[in-house]
Amino acid sequence: MKSITDDLSDILSKLSREDYCYLTTTGRKSGLAREIEIWFGINGNSLYLLSGGGDKSQWVKNLRANPNVTVRIAKQNFNGIARIVSIEKEEMMARYMLAGKYQGWKEGNALSDWGRTALVVGIDLSTA
Q: How far is it, in rounded angstroms, from Cα 8 to Cα 13?
A: 8
**What pLDDT does 108 receive?**
84
Tell me how far apart the alpha carbons of residues 80 and 69 are, in angstroms, rounded to a whole number.
Answer: 5
Which CATH architecture is the domain 4-127 placed in? Roll (2.30)
pLDDT at site 39: 98
Domain ranges of the chain: 4-127
- The predicted structure's pLDDT at residue 2: 46
Q: What is the pTM of this model?
A: 0.92
Give me the tens of pLDDT residue by residue for the chain, a chain 128 residues long: 444 556 898 999 999 999 999 999 999 999 999 999 999 999 999 999 999 999 999 999 999 999 999 999 999 999 999 999 999 999 999 999 999 999 988 888 889 999 999 999 999 999 86
**Residue 53 corresponds to which amino acid?**
G
φ/ψ of 84, rounded to 5, equals -80, 125
Which of these, 88, 114, 87, lies nearest to 100 by C-alpha position?
114
pLDDT of residue 70: 97
Complete DSSP assignment for 85-123: ---HHHHHHHHHHHHHHHH---TTSPPPHHHHHSEEEEE
